[in-house]
């Protein structure tokens, strides 16, 4: 069970406002909020490290409002992805404390002071790299997701392999990362190049940027899957959220190990 709810029940029990039978009944209840349009998983933070993330396409604004409210009520920070400008305008009217990234199409509401809030945990260091400026929407989704996980995130833009000298200027930042997300379209070569410079996992995100033979990102995906750099792993086409989420998990675990040992560990 979500420990915010459990703590509230325990306080009610100690205060005499709740019987033992009622405490047991509520404590054993499924950690799910039925909001009509969705069954919100309130225990995901305990199981998986971070709260449930909302995928906006196909959802009405009223449905998202109910999901957001359920998460915030339990002290969870909200992250919604692929939010349209029209959806965002309505959501901001309901949640003025929210923040909409117009490029990455993410909507974030911070649950200030909540123990489950990702930012309350060890941060870790994530670097997001783009091959070109047209990769920026996917990179921004990755950056916002990694920030939501609590990571310290640096964005390096437009350092594709057509001008490899541009990447070398950023090597000190890359070498200090716990995880690197590389977002690239066309032939998708940049993750392999980055992987040859760093001692941490590189999460490659292929984008649907390119001419006809790129097949909407399939060429980049296959190129990344065939990377000769051993530390490169690959997520789906345009999956900035997945890249940022995995990088955040890695960085958090490295940061926790670093805090426990006092050593500058790499994942």
List pLDDT tens digits, range 17-36: 888 887 877 676 667 877 78
How many CB atoms within 10 Å of residue 31? Answer: 17
**Do residue 97 and residue 47 come from a single domain?**
yes
Place of tokens 């070109």: 132
**Do residue 145 and residue 72 come from a single domain?**
no
Place of tokens 């996917």: 138
**Do residue 197 and residue 97 come from a single domain?**
no
**Do residue 56 and residue 138 come from a single domain?**
no
User: DSSP secondary-structure letter at 267?
Assistant: -
**Do residue 105 and residue 134 come from a single domain?**
no
List pLDDT tens digits, range 127-156: 999 999 999 999 999 999 999 999 999 999
**Does residue 22 sit within a domain?**
no
Structure tokens at 31: 């950690």
**Do residue 92 and residue 126 come from a single domain?**
no
**Do residue 81 and residue 180 come from a single domain?**
no
**Does residue 9 sit within a domain?**
no
Residue span of the structural domain in which 257 resides: 121-261
| pTM recorded for the entire structure | 0.84
Total number of domains constituting the chain:
2
**Do residue 98 and residue 183 come from a single domain?**
no
């Amino acid at each position: 069970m979500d420990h915010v709810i459990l703590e509230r029940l325990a306080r009610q029990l100690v205060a005499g406002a709740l019987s033992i039978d009622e405490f047991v009944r509520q404590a054993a209840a499924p950690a799910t909020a039925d909001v009509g349009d969705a069954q919100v998983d309130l225990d995901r933070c305990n199981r998986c490290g971070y709260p449930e993330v909302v995928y906006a396409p196909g959802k009405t604004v009223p449905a998202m409002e109910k999901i957001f409210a359920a998460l915030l009520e339990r002290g969870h920070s909200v992250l919604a992805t692929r939010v349209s400008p029209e959806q965002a305008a309505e959501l901001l009217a309901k949640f003025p404390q929210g923040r909409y990234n117009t490029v990455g199409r993410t909507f974030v509401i911070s649950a200030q002071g909540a123990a489950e809030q990702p930012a309350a945990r060890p941060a870790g260091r994530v670097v997001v790299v783009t091959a070109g400026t047209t990769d920026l929407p996917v990179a921004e989704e990755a950056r916002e997701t990694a920030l939501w996980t609590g990571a310290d995130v640096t964005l390096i833009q437009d350092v594709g392999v057509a001008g490899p000298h541009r990447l070398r200027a950023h090597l000190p930042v890359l070498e200090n990362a716990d995880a690197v997300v590389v977002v690239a379209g066309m032939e998708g070569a940049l993750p392999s190049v980055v992987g040859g410079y760093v001692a941490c996992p590189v999460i490659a995100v292929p984008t649907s940027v390119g001419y006809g033979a790129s097949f909407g990102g399939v060429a980049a995906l296959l190129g990344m899957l065939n990377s000769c750099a051993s530390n490169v792993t690959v997520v789906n086409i345009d999956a900035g959220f997945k890249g940022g989420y995995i990088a955040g998990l890695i960085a958090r675990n490295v940061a926790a190990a670093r805090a426990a040992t006092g050593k500058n560990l790499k994942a």
